[in-house]
Structure 1
Amino acid sequence: MAGILALQGGAATLLWILAVVLVIMGIVSIVRGGVLAGIVLIIVGLLVGPGGVSIF
């Protein structure tokens, strides 16, 4: 929990951008037919984002 609270400014913004890119890539992958890869990318994107559940 302390790690999440320590993220401020640039680090949190960078994680948000990375999470958004991963989720968008996952959606595109699902649309193109790669369902498993798309689901994995979306889950990783949700785990990377600083809000809610975060692995950092």
Structure 2
Amino acid sequence: MEFLLWILAVILVIGGIVSLVRGQLLWGIVLIVVGLLVGPGGVSIFT
């Protein structure tokens, strides 16, 4: 389960960075924050 959360977090953060590069500032920030919550913080939240 932790491994899947980390993969999801990486995908969200990469998507957020791509959004920032494409000029979608708000959406990029949201994706990065959600990715960080799911990844390092989410592992401890969900387990």
TM over 0.5: yes
Identical amino acids, percent of aligned pairs: 70
Supply the distance in 2 between the matched residues of 1:15 and 1:40 (Cα, whole angstroms): 17
1 or 2, which has the higher helix percentage?
Answer: 2
1:42 aligns to what? 32
Supply the distance in 1 between the matched residues of 2:29 and 2:18 (Cα, whole angstroms): 11
Supply the distance in 1 between the matched residues of 2:28 and 2:3 (Cα, whole angstroms): 23
TM-score, structure 1 as length reference: 0.73
Query: What does 1:1-56 align with in structure 2 at a 5 Å threshold?
Result: 11-49=1-39, 51=40, 53-54=41-42, 55-56=45-46
TM-score, structure 2 as length reference: 0.86
1:3 aligns to what? none
Query: 4+ residue stretches of structure 1 with deviation over 2 A?
Result: none
Unaligned 5+ segments in structure 2 are none
Q: CA RMSD in A?
A: 1.0
Supply the distance in 1 between the matched residues of 2:29 and 2:5 (Cα, whole angstroms): 19
Higher RCO by CA contacts (8 Å cutoff, separation 6 or greater): 2
